[in-house]
Structure 1
Amino acid sequence: MFKREFLIKYFPADVRNRKVVEFMELKQGNMSVAEYAAKFESLCAFSPYYNTPEAEYDKCVKFESVLRPDVKHLIGFSEIRDFPTLVNKS
């Protein structure tokens, strides 16, 4: 509750919304997996849906879906749905 109130007061809605859009459009591109994972985690904080235990599956799908094809090919279609495990395997 404190975090929500703090963000409302000190972090304008338009800035939060831009961060959400940036998260939704994030792709690995030429970043290393570690760089991409760090950026993913930092932007994920602005999308409350992805910060719940129930959304772990969707968070993994989102992360994996925009990995570069060469990385995605290496981890295969193992359907890892534990986020830290998926990042380590990637």
Structure 2
Amino acid sequence: MELKQGDMSVADYAAKFESLCAFSPHYNIVEAVYDKCVKFESGLRPDI
């Protein structure tokens, strides 16, 4: 099975998400782990 998020694999999407989170102070604190997970999941296609 091949999971795609647009033209990227989900692994590529996750890597890009992590790299972009480095620019957001909110997502770089321990207390924001839940918010970060919600943001990541909301960016995925609903059928994934």
By the TM > 0.5 criterion, same fold? yes
Percent of residue pairs identical: 82
Q: Number of paired residues?
A: 44
1: distance between equivalents of 2:28 and 2:15? 15
Runs of 4+ in 1 over 3 A off after TM superposition: none
In 2, Cα distance between equivalents of 1:65 and 1:35: 16
Larger Rg: 1
Partner of 1:32: 9
Measure the CA separation in 2 of the matches of 1:42 and 1:65.
17
Coordinate RMSD, CA, aligned: 1.0
Match of 2:41 in 1: 64
1:52 pairs, out of 29, 34, 37, with 29
Give the number of the structure whose residues are more often strand, by fraction: 2
Structure 1, unaligned stretches of length 5 or more? 1-27, 72-90
Structure with the higher helix share, 1 or 2: 1
TM-score, normalising length: structure 1: 0.46
Q: TM-score, normalised by structure 2?
A: 0.82
